[in-house]
Structure 1
Amino acid sequence: MPKYSLVIPVYNEESTIPELYHRVSTVMDGLDDTSEAIFINDGSQDRTLQLLRELHDRDERVVYLSLARNFGHQIAVTAGLNYIRGKAIVILDADLQDPPELIPELIALWRQGYHVVYAQRTKRVRESWFKRLCAYAFYRILKQLANVDIPTDTGDFCLLDRQVVDLLNQMPERNRYLRGLRSWVGFNQIAFKFERDSRFAGEVKYTFAKSFALAINGLVSFSSVPLRLSTYLGLFSAVVAILMAILVLYWRIFTPHSTLTGFATIAIAIFFLGAVQLISIGILGEYIGRIYEEVKNRPLYTLSEVGHQKPRSSQPPDRSRSSS
């Protein structure tokens, strides 16, 4: 049984896999005990799966899972966590923005007794000012609104103790935000600061739309404040309506010919109340949609291939760590 496990989700990364394997294998060669690298092919449409098969044939430490379609980054990581065997588990992205060479330093902190060692970015190389601004704002808003302490400027790059992974695998929720879940479980946690590199090759997989969806998922999964926001908007609109009624009565008495008491005032009030209602319905819909996803009770993912063997089912071999 390997002592260290690396979980690496990949999606259309044929241009980065050779360099990724070279750097990851070099790190594994230098570790003090046995290790494995689990690549999760998240429905890639290029030569990614073929390259993983070749690596598996060449290096017995390389294991790969191939999802039957694209299920998303968080689900791909979850699939890897279901199958790992190590005592210390490192999650990193395949684009080499998370330097594999930092893994020994994460392990050193784990040996000191920390159950979660999360990498905290101090600098983002070659990212637009708009993306940096959005990320900065999101993490701080989430930290203020979430019901758990989610560290700022952290991604999925981290080391998890086996005990933490076992708890994460027992959580059945489908809209997963792993950065929040690893904070929710507790235990001894520590930040490891690093400068995030730029993508080695290929196109950015986390577009603005995907990043925004992940941000909404994290906010809704760990905060009920948006639900209260609709209540506050309703109270605010009620106060505005009362003030408008007083103003209209005043204008009717003292300025009866003013245009402010006509169609424009009514139209503004209608549009304002309509906006409040739509915002409230949208917020409520986000939470109801998650309830709908949970009650369907479908598996988190389906597998088409594990290593070179077809799986018997879409579930991990250990039923105590089932994805469904």
Structure 2
Amino acid sequence: MTELSTPADRINIIIPLFNDWEAVSLLLDKIVATVEPAIRQRFHFLIVDDCSVTNYQQLPMNTGQSLSILRLWRNVGHQKAIALGLSYLADQPEAYTTIVMDSDGEDKPEDIARLLDASLNTPGQIIFAHRTKRQESRLFKTFYQIYKTVFKLLTGKAITFGNFSAIPPTLLRKLAHVSDIWNNYPGGVIRSRLPYRSIPLERGLRLAGQSKMNFVSLILHGLSAIAVLMEATAVRIFLFCIITASISSAAIAIVVLLRFTGQWTISGWASYIVFSLFIVILQAFLISLLLVFIVLTYRTQSHFIPAKQYKDFIERVEVVY
């Protein structure tokens, strides 16, 4: 692995958080224990507090060069908190390599060096952590696999990574101007066409508290990722509707032909099948029409640009050390 102990610019670490103060405290302790001092002394932490209803009692000191808390006026959700953190850093005089990681410890601190190493070897690319092994329940893993399959079918893209990533300084400001990261950070990167790749890393265990990712939140997270690639999804559904309508029309023609040539013995079935297929064609037409209006509306509306509007969500910046 490439040595990272030589002097270099600072490394910003964004940690979105909602009430997970105990976990983030343990995470910072683990960073001290597992990350080499030569790398850790370059860290500048930015905790994006997503309007938590609790506050920290005490946070570990001297885990890096600095630690600040970006306090938000209201709860906006995990993905939007990441977008606001990225926009805040992009608005600073200088841009630096930025790590995005979760606060619960499932993004293992010892893997930060691997992300940085991959970023050094392939400069100019966003490096994501591709999860080779997950620690959740079997039911969660099953639904997560279903989500990835549906995502692939609807968008034509494979999504095997989450938020844990390294962003090179050359792409930080560009990424902050991508409106789609407001809904889903990984999906926004995919749609932005900014260069990215992933490396295989194993997911860790939550350090404290209970995970807020359940079945409902997984569905909402999946829908937000699919919505980011709405145009590609709409095209694929539109093509599916055309194929379905074409097959149904051909089937109606065959039924009518068999009925009037005397080869269909039970006339009631012929009428029932023709009527059912006609309903399928009508539904395919209505879905296609709805998709056209949705895509046209999406293309004409103005989009939220995090880099331009992030200040409206920030209450204050609290410097811990």
Interval containing the TM-score (normalised by the shorter chain): 0.7 to 0.9
Counterpart amino acid of 2:245? S
CA-CA distance at 1:121 after TM superposition:
1.1
2:131–2:202 CA contact under 8 A, matched in 1: yes
Q: State the TM-score, normalizing by the size of structure 1.
A: 0.74
**Per-residue Cα deviation, 1:8-66 (whole angstroms, up to 9, x for no partner):** 11123244233123224556782444321111122333x1xx218x5499988221112
2:70–2:317 CA contact under 8 A, matched in 1: yes
- In terms of mean alpha carbon deviation, does 137-146 or 163-172 score higher? 137-146
Q: State the TM-score, normalizing by the size of structure 2.
A: 0.75
CA distance in 1, matches of 2:32, 2:285: 55
CA distance 1:230–1:13, shift in 2 (3 Å): same
Instruction: Find 1:135's aligned residue among 130, 139, 144.
Output: 144
CA distance in 2, matches of 1:203, 1:285: 41
CA-CA distance at 1:165 after TM superposition:
1.0
**Per-residue Cα deviation, 1:99-118 (whole angstroms, up to 9, x for no partner):** 12222232233344534332
| SS in structure 2 at match of 1:51 | coil
CA-CA distance at 1:289 after TM superposition:
6.4
Detail structure 1 runs of 4+ shifted over 6 Å in the superposition.
56-60
Instruction: Find 1:259's aligned residue among 268, 287, 300.
Output: 268
Counterpart amino acid of 2:184? Y
CA-CA distance at 1:179 after TM superposition:
2.0
1:164–1:185 CA contact under 8 A, matched in 2: no
1:109–1:117 CA contact under 8 A, matched in 2: yes
| SS in structure 2 at match of 1:9 | strand
CA-CA distance at 1:3 after TM superposition:
0.2
Gaps of 5+ in 2: 1-7
Aligned to 2:177: 170
Aligned to 2:133: 123
Counterpart amino acid of 1:119? A
1:37–1:61 CA contact under 8 A, matched in 2: yes
CA distance in 2, matches of 1:81, 1:142: 25
CA-CA distance at 1:253 after TM superposition:
5.0
- Alignment coverage as a number of residue pairs: 300
| SS in structure 1 at match of 2:103 | coil
Aligned to 2:217: 210
Gaps of 5+ in 1: 310-324
CA distance 1:234–1:169, shift in 2 (3 Å): same
2:128–2:164 CA contact under 8 A, matched in 1: yes
CA distance 1:300–1:80, shift in 2 (3 Å): closer
**Per-residue Cα deviation, 1:203-246 (whole angstroms, up to 9, x for no partner):** 33233333333333433434525324324413431442343144
Check if 1:244 corresponds to 2:269.
Answer: no
1:175–1:217 CA contact under 8 A, matched in 2: no
CA-CA distance at 1:170 after TM superposition:
2.4
1:27–1:101 CA contact under 8 A, matched in 2: yes
| SS in structure 1 at match of 2:70 | strand
Aligned to 1:305: 315
Counterpart amino acid of 1:237? A
CA-CA distance at 1:200 after TM superposition:
2.7
CA distance in 1, matches of 2:292, 2:217: 21
| SS in structure 2 at match of 1:202 | coil
Identity of aligned residues (%): 18
